[in-house]
Amino acid sequence: MKSILRTMLVLLAAGAVVAAAIALTTPSDPRQEEREVLGRTVRRPPRPGGEAALLQAITSIQRGHPDYSGMSKDMAESVRDELAKNEKLLVGLGPLQSLAYQGGEGRADLYRARFKSGSLLWEIGFGKDGKMDGLGFISPFTPQDWIDNYARFHFPERGERMATQFAILLAAAAFGRYALRLRL
């Protein structure tokens, strides 16, 4: 009977840890991220050929066969690593209907891509050699995406969250250890 009670206390503590971690970890809001990015954009003319390159990149990713020859080595590797996930997302959004230039941020141009079933804010940048060295979009996150992409948080925020969650885990471990020593 006592061991059952101790086990229940440990499980209760573990449940409290999970609940606290969920409560303290707010999911990323992609719309807020978009607003922040668009707030930093500068109105300037788009890079010549940028819209056509982005159109080609989006459609080729949807088909599952990007043209890596127009990308820098690092960019090609990044696109290759994320291809399955991005292809699935883009296919789910349906055919691309329009691209609208939003402005620039640094060396990159930002475009709003509208699809049949949604839209994404895309960034495309080129190196001095004319090859694409930046390509990405702000994703409509699901909770699983948030878990899978924890490292995408800015380093100070990620550090804070990890420290908080680690402290909760240590507290729960200490409580669990204490609960196991109880002679109920």
pLDDT digits 0-9 by tens, 38-86: 777 778 888 899 999 999 999 999 999 999 999 999 999 999 999 998 8
Are residues 124 and 159 both part of a single domain? no
- Does pLDDT of 161 surpass 60? yes
Instruction: Tokens for 93, please give them.
Output: 């959004």
Same domain for 39 and 24: no
Residues 126, 43 share a domain: yes
Which residues does 50 contact at the CB level (< 8 Å), separation at least 6?
Answer: 109, 111, 124, 126
Do 61 and 105 fall within a single domain? yes
State the pLDDT confidence band at 11, using cuts at 50, 70 and 90: low
Domains in the chain, number: 2
- Report the sign of the C-alpha dihedral through residues 87, 90, 91, 92, in that order: positive
> What DSSP letter does each residue of 98-147 carry, written as one string?
EEEEEEEETTEEEEEEEETTEEEEEEEEE-TTSSEEEEEEE----HHHHH
Q: Are residues 49 and 108 in the same domain?
A: yes
Q: Report helix, strand or coil for 66.
A: coil
Residue 162 belongs to what domain range?
1-28+154-184
Q: Is the pLDDT at 31 greater than 80, yes or no? A: no
* pTM attached to this predicted model: 0.59
148 in a domain, yes or no?
Answer: no
DSSP secondary structure string for all residues of 6-46: HHHHHHHHHHHHHHHHHHH-PPP-HHHHHHHHHHH-B--PP
Mean pLDDT of the 87-95 span: 88
Q: Is residue 147 part of a domain?
A: no
